[in-house]
Amino acid sequence: MSKVKVDFSRCKGCFLCTSVCPKGVLLPSTELGAKGFEIVQIDETKECIGCGACYKMCPDYCIEVTD
């Protein structure tokens, strides 16, 4: 099973990753990150399929997909 890791200190809350995740693993959050922006959250109840769409979409290279 694949797993998504997010560097929350670099996330600026553009939520582009949430729009492309086919399983809804990444969701918008109201929590503020280090830069003062709302950041994404990872829904641990949903299973990542490792497609890498979120990784490819992130303009700040905050996301890593591992096996």
pLDDT in tens, the chain (67 residues): 899 999 999 999 999 999 999 999 999 998 998 889 999 999 999 999 999 999 999 999 999 999 8
The tokens 């582009």 sit on which residue? 16
| pLDDT at 67 (0 to 100) | 87
| pLDDT at 21 (0 to 100) | 97
Question: Into which CATH architecture does domain 3-60 fall?
Answer: 2-Layer Sandwich (3.30)
| pLDDT at 28 (0 to 100) | 95
Q: Could you tell me which residues are beta bridge partners of residue 38?
A: 32
**Domain layout of the chain by residue ranges:** 3-60
CA pair distance 11, 49, nearest whole angstrom: 22
CA pair distance 61, 30, nearest whole angstrom: 21
54 touches 64 (CB < 8 A): no
Q: Could you tell me which residues are beta bridge partners of residue 32?
A: 38
| pLDDT at 40 (0 to 100) | 96
Strand stretches in the chain, DSSP E:
3-6, 26-32, 38-42, 63-66
| pLDDT at 19 (0 to 100) | 96
